[in-house]
Structure 1
Amino acid sequence: MLLLAGVAFLIVLLWMVGRYRGSSAEQRAVYAWVIMQRHTPGHHSRDRESMALAARARRGELTRQEIARLQALRPEVPYPGKLPPA
C-alpha cells in the first residue's frame, strides 16, 4: 500500500512540475493575480469560478472589461500582464 501511495505521489509531483515549467512567469503572475483579486474582504466568490477565471486569464482570454472589473476590487494591486488589444 505504501508503494502505491509513493507511486501516486510521484506521478502527481511530476505532473505539477510539468505544468509549472510549461507556463511563463507572466502567465503564473496573471493566474495568481486573478485569484488574489477575487479573494478580497467583502467579495464572496466561489472557488470554482475563481479558478476557471484564473485559467482563462493564464491563457490570455480575458477582455479589458473583465480585467477592469477585477482591478476595481483591489485598485492598489496592478495587473501584472499585458493588456489585450482594445
Structure 2
Amino acid sequence: MTKWLVKNNLPIAPLEYLIGVGDSNTILKTSLKNHNISKWIVHHWATAREIENFEKVYTKEIVSQKELKKITRKILKYHQPLKSDMLERYHCR
C-alpha cells in the first residue's frame, strides 16, 4: 500500500489492518505459520475498542482531512476486487 501511495503522489500515512467478523459464533482456525493474522481479526463487538487503541497510538494528525479524502477517492477509483479465496490462502479451513 505504501508503494501505491508513493506511486500516486499521495501522502504516506501509518497503515493498520483490522477485520471485523459479524457472526459472534465464528471460529477461525489457522495454521501455525499464519498465527499473526489473529491480531487483525476481531469480533464485531470489539471493533470500536481496537479503533480506540489505534487512536491512543496515533495521537498526532499525520494526514489532513483534505488529504485523507484525496486518498479515499483514489483508492475507490483504482480498487479491483480480489479474486481469491482468503480462507484458503491463509489456511483457515
TM-score (structure 1 length as normaliser): 0.30
Query: Where is the helix percentage greater, Structure 1 or Structure 2?
Result: 1
Q: Which has the higher contact order (CA 8 A, sep 6+)?
A: 2
Is the strand fraction higher in 1 or 2? 2
> Normalized against structure 2, the TM-score is what?
0.28
